[in-house]
Chain A
Amino acid sequence: MADQADSAGATDTAGVAQAPPPTQALPPAVRVEGLWKRFGEQVAVAGIDLELPAGRFIGLVGPNGAGKTTTLSMVTGLLRPDMGRIEVAGHDVWRDPVEVKSRIGVLPEGLRLFERLSGRELLGYTGRLRGLPGAEADRRATQLLDVLDLAGAQHKLVVDYSTGMRKKIGLASALLHNPEVLFLDEPFEGVDPVSAQTIRGVLERYTRSGATVVFSSHVMELVESLCDWVAVMAAGRIRAQGTLAEVRGEAASLQDAFLELVGAGVRDTGESLDWLGGAR
């Protein structure tokens, strides 16, 4: 499957034209080889190989429980794999954390933030931990709060933020140190359309600069409209990866191609629900 990535540049017909074609000299944003993770009896990630080109807007799609979060956690160094090799921007995540951690930004799903800080304090804290000089961290925080429409709530504690606001402040923390690769786990989950549009705008602008965004989602329409490169996961394995056009293939939409790939065709409910909608 890895060779699909090499052909990605040539067959790129879909989506964002501004994305610079990856050159052979640039190492892939993420390279994963033989990655395994098992929780007790359950195999969450079953030996995946993945090569995500740099400078793209990449969607990692799959049904719930496919192993997307587990994979992203291992790639970002938050979860130790049982087996396998992970490189981000050409550096081994587990052997060379200094190089990797300064190059990545992460918005995990299901993990808390330091919620007893206000939005502005959280950004100040994150920026300084990331080694930015205080004045620079505060300057960037002000701009991010403005762009993400959080300026009005900047002095409110994050614990009182809504889901959409949390995602936005999380995104701001992930972007603050201008990472090369941004990993977002379900960044649009529970986000209202207005906030989603804001997040989208920021991300599109960020990838235009040549940075890579890897985000997971199970909303196909979103992935189809945002991404130029897609990896499909199901049951702990990669079912397909490549440009949007390659993965979509002959199917009418990514949704159809996805259902085909994960083996979930339209089920005929037949007679079993015949009372539903009948006489009351």
Chain B
Amino acid sequence: MTVLDAPADTAVPAVRGQRLVPVLVGLKLTLLRNGLRLSSGRRAAYVASLVVTLLLAAVQAIGLVALRGHPQAGTLVVLLTAVVAVGWAVMPLFFPSGDETLDPSRLVMLPLRPRPLIGALLAASLIGIGPLFTLTLALGSVIALAHGAAAVAFGVIAVPLTLLVCVALARSVATANIRLLTSRRGRDLAVLSGLVIAVGIQFVNFGVQRLGRAGGMSSLEPVADVVRWLPPASALGAVGSASEGSYGAALGQLLLSVLALGGLVWLWERSLVKLMTAPDGSTVAAAEPSAGRPGADRSGLFSLLPEGRTATVMQRSLRYVVRDPKTKAAWVTALAVGLIVPVLNAVQGSGSVYFACFAAGMLGMQMYNQFGQDTSAFWMVALSVSSTRDAYVELRARALALLLITLPYTVLVTVVTAALLGDWAALPGVMGLSFALLGAMLATGAVASALFPYSIPQDGAFKNVVPGQAGLAWISILGGMVAAAVLSGPVIGLAVWLHVADHQNLLWLLLPVGAVYGTFIGWLGVRLAAPRTADRLPEILAAVSKG
């Protein structure tokens, strides 16, 4: 039995709904303030995101106001609202721990009844950057759409309704998923979901390009006609309908949003009660893995490698690519984006074979922050590295593990791109350039791993840097990429010269030159990084243990 079952009139006065609202709102504000007080980096990040959001919101509101009277304002408004609502629904999956006042498991020991708790949680949810943004969107939309007193009346209801539906949507999704998100497998899934976005953005990007050619907004009207009836966009759709005089439709749309709000709150309440009265899912043991999994006995390809540190480290690195959600997400994103950019450009006929170098660049990035990928488990490496030689073998093994995936993949992407464009003549040159670039990325990645390590938080899909280390991460990656471009300069120069001097028939030369140069520069980078790694083990450990 829990406190939820306790009779209302016990000696301890239960907190009533009306008094709960200010308590939870106050709690939220306090947590926000304390969170910001914790570190100046976090404060800066918060203020920056607040400013950016406010700017975005302002631009959006001005844009919407400017759209007033435009025939397609209605289409745009409902679609925008739908996109924002989808954002609200997906957000809690990516940031499960984003909002502490709303984590019901922390309130489980308090004598609270679900109904007043829901109201207070909803009120507390309205504080924040997201609700502010949504509010300006709704306000701007009503200004863009409302013509006539009736429409304004509908607008007055539609604005808070839209906001509430969005917030309730996020809360009910979050609460329903808390059980999943507190189990290890669920968190792994949430981390991986980040790459859905990363890859999705590429497709959206190309979709938008298509749209731009196909005649703009009018092609979206059929979609908008459906979305107009979907909450919370239907609340704003009602304002549009009212402006056009179809009050029946407006009433229907508004009613749909109200019903949706009721339904969401009901769902939320149900899963909240279940969550607070049933045992916590996080302690339920994960399923036994299949017994057939090979043990430490080296199987398959690894048995071909000589014994010793190289094979051991390579095997561990590759296992992490498959098993560690953060590493896996980074790899799948790199593999997908590395393929999508050159291939989709080639399909659209706008690309060049040289776009295939993108794959080498994306995959080479995985060499950066090698020790950050280990998290604080790096101590196990640190304890076994006692000389520059050990550090050299460690780094070289990590680079080799990377090459095991990257080399064939680069070849594949280059060949596919060349095939799609039918430009076989450029193939060897592009491949040589890719190899040089890859070598340069490995070299700068190894050096950056030693000099600029930073922690990778293990939870959340988008948090790749711990607050306070963002600068370090940017220096490492940006500086490294510039350095890699400079380092592969000789090969790039050769390629340019062969083109300019009209020696196209000699472009094949780039392949051996690029391969040899890439190997050399990669080796040199690892060689240079090794003594720095061996000297800085405690500093690296401290830097990667903050996640």
Contacts and interface: CB of A to CB of B under 8 A. Distances in A.
Contact of B296 (A110, A114, A123, A280): A123
A205 interface: no
Interface string B504-547: 00000000000000000000000000000000011101100100
A125 B318 CA distance: 13
Given A77-B538, A79-B538, 5 more contacts: A77-B537, A124-B312, A126-B380, A128-B308, A157-B323
Contacts of A137: 296
Contacts of B324: 116
B383 A157 contact: no
B293 A118 contact: yes
Contacts of A76: 383
Interface stretch (A21-29, A95-103, A219-227, A255-263): A95-103
Contact of A125 (B11, B288, B296, B297): B296
Contacts of B316: 114, 117, 125
Given A112-B375, A141-B296, A128 B312 contact: yes
A167 to B, nearest CB: 15
A130 interface: yes
A118 B295 contact: yes
B381 interface: yes
Given A120-B295, A121-B319, A78 B379 contact: yes
Contacts of B538: 77-80
A120 B384 contact: no
Contacts of B386: 97-98, 100-102
Contacts of B16: none
Given A111-B377, A157-B323, A160-B184, A129 B545 contact: no
Contacts of A113: 377, 380
Closest 3 CB pairs of A and B: A124-B296, A128-B312, A129-B384
B376 interface: yes
B323 A120 contact: no
Contacts of B313: 129
B319 A116 contact: yes
A79 B374 CA distance: 17
B542 A160 contact: no
Contacts of A90: none
A108 interface: yes
B contacts with A: majority SS: helix
Interface string A158-171: 01100000000000
B97 to A, nearest CB: 18
B307 interface: yes
A1 B384 CA distance: 33
Contacts of A155: 289, 291, 293, 295
Given A114-B374, A124-B295, A80 B539 contact: yes
A38 B175 CA distance: 43
A78 to B, nearest CB: 6
A110 B541 CA distance: 12
B382 interface: yes
A239 interface: no
A130 B539 contact: no
B285 A97 contact: no
Contacts of A98: 386-387
Given A78-B541, A101-B386, A156-B288, A108 B323 contact: no
Contacts of B376: 110-112
B323 A116 contact: yes
A100 B324 CA distance: 32
A98 B538 CA distance: 15
A126 B539 CA distance: 22
B309 interface: yes
A180 interface: no
A134 B319 contact: no
A154 interface: yes
B301 interface: no
Interface of A: 76-80, 97-98, 100-102, 104, 106, 108, 110-118, 120-121, 123-126, 128-130, 133-134, 137-138, 141, 154-157, 159-160, 173, 280
18 contacts: A80-B538, A98-B386, A98-B387, A101-B383, A106-B379, A110-B376, A111-B377, A113-B380, A115-B377, A116-B323, A117-B319, A117-B323, A121-B295, A121-B296, A128-B309, A129-B309, A141-B296, A155-B289
A126 B383 CA distance: 10
Contacts of A126: 380, 384
A269 to B, nearest CB: 24
Nearest to B458: A112
Given A114-B316, A160-B184, A138 B383 contact: no
A114 B298 contact: no
B214 interface: no
B542 A116 contact: no
A53 to B, nearest CB: 24
A130 B384 contact: yes
B320 interface: yes
Contacts of B297: 124, 138
B500 interface: no
A157 B293 CA distance: 11
B286 interface: yes
Contact of A77 (B307, B383, B539): B383
B11 to A, nearest CB: 7
B544 to A, nearest CB: 10
Given A97-B387, A101-B384, A121-B296, A116 B289 contact: no
Interface string B180-208: 00001000000000000000000000000
Nearest to A133: B307
Interface in B122-149: none
Interface in B272-302: 285-286, 288-289, 291, 293, 295-298
A35 B297 CA distance: 43
Interface in B303-340: 307-309, 311-313, 315-316, 319-320, 323-324
B545 A134 contact: no
B382 A78 contact: yes
B379 A108 contact: yes
A69 to B, nearest CB: 12
B470 to A, nearest CB: 21
A157 B523 CA distance: 34
Contacts of B374: 114
